[in-house]
């Protein structure tokens, strides 16, 4: 993908009027905008104002837009099989191991994180792409994430599902908030997927 295209989207995302929605917790239930997202019985995929993204939620768009979903696309010249496979692969400086993980999806991709338990990436705050280190808290990494999501949007199924969500807030209430604990925070994910939908509407 052309660098100029990626930077165009980066600028769009940074200037996008993103209103991050805080989760409200009351009586062991989770709400967003006063709508129930999770209670003791279940996790909810959709409300009047939101679509909750999760691989195992009972909503087709929730599943397809999940990072875990098996979706094939070209990223930085490599064919990968899920967003999750890319994200988990960043924890390893070994290119050969990274290239293996790029082929995974679903919980298989997610569980590859177990192999780095004795060499936790968060201690140094470094991630890797094809042997080259990136600081987790750098602008370089933010642009990397922009290219990742812009690349998956080239897959027609992903693109159609994303645009079909209309104007609902795209939520991922499972997400973590600390950049030292996750390679993609809830804020980073929600800002990207919400802004990407609007970017595609304007640039389709």
Do residues 52 and 46 lie in contact, with contact meaning Cβ atoms separated by under 8 Å?
Answer: yes
Q: Is the pTM of this model over 0.75?
A: yes
First to last CA, the chain: 16
Q: Which domains does the chain have, with CATH numbers?
A: 3-203 (1.10.357.40)
Instruction: Name the β-bridge partners of 75.
Output: 78
- pLDDT above 70 for 118: no
CA nearest to 102, candidates 76, 123, 125: 76
Maximum distance among all Cα pairs of the chain, rounded to whole angstroms: 49
pLDDT tens figures, 135-167: 999 999 999 999 999 999 999 999 999 999 999
């Amino acid at each position: 993908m052309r660098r100029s295209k990626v930077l165009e989207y980066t600028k769009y995302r940074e200037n996008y009027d993103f209103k991050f929605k805080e989760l409200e917790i009351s009586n062991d239930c989770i709400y967003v905008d006063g709508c129930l997202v999770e209670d003791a019985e279940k996790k909810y995929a959709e409300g009047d104002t939101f679509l909750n993204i999760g691989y195992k939620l009972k909503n087709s768009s929730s599943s397809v837009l999940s990072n875990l979903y098996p979706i094939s696309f070209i990223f930085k010249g490599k064919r990968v099989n899920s967003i999750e496979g890319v994200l988990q692969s960043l924890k390893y400086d070994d290119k050969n191991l990274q290239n293996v993980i790029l082929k995974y999806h679903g919980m298989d991709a997610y569980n590859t994180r177990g192999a780095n338990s004795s060499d936790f990436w968060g201690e140094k705050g470094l991630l890797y792409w094809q042997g080259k280190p990136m600081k987790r808290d750098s602008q370089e990494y933010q642009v990397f994430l922009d290219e990742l999501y812009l690349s998956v949007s080239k897959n027609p199924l992903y693109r159609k599902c994303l645009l079909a969500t209309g104007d609902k807030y795209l939520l991922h209430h499972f997400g973590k908030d600390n950049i030292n604990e996750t390679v993609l925070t809830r804020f980073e994910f929600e800002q990207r997927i919400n802004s990407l939908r609007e970017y595609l509407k304007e640039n389709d």
